[in-house]
Amino acid sequence: MLKLSKMTDYAVVILAEMASLDGQLLTAGALAQHTKVPEPTVSKILKLLVKQNLVASTRGSNGGYTLSKSPNDINMAHVIMATDGPVTLTACVESSGQHCDLSDNCNVKGKWNPVNQAMQNALENVSLQQMIGGRA
């Protein structure tokens, strides 16, 4: 259906909440309350975001999470990468690492690459700032 996973959907909601309370260190529990997303899920998503360096974590008592960069510098392609992995429309896309069974006699070999790139670009051009309503 060409849709994003719920994980990505939630991730953006969570990031938007963090952006709107910029600078504050927020626990997974607090973010769950604010966004109504179940806490274990919030927790899981935050871990993914930390791995991609979109969010910075502080461990231990009084720990929590905060954005690791400005909302203008976080784009949707990056968020999707964190939660869903790389954008690879088809198995034939070069970057997919997958093997296409038809490859030898495939009449559209390589043709998906530019389409994939167009998608990627479209997503890179949408910042978290825009998702929370800002103009920049």
Partner DNA sequence: TCAATTAGTACCGTTTTAGTACTGATTAAA
Partner DNA sequence: TTTAATCAGTACTAAAACGGTACTAATTGA
Distance CA 13, CA 124 (A): 17
Give CA–CA dist 118/128, Å, rounded: 19
In the chain, how long is the greatest CA-to-CA distance?
Answer: 59
Where would I find the H helices in the chain?
6-20, 28-35, 39-51, 76-84, 112-124, 128-131
Least distance between DNA and beta carbon 47 (Å): 5
The residues of the shown chain that bind DNA, judged by CB under 7 A, are 1, 5-7, 10, 26-29, 38, 40-41, 43-44, 46-47, 50-51, 57-65, 84
Positions in 23-62 near a second copy (CB under 8 A)? 35-37
20 belongs to the binding site for a second copy (CB under 8 A):
yes
Q: Which residues bind a second copy (CB under 8 A)?
A: 1-6, 8-9, 12-13, 16-17, 20, 35-37, 76, 80, 84-92, 101-102, 105-108, 111, 114-115, 118-119, 122-123, 125-126, 130-133
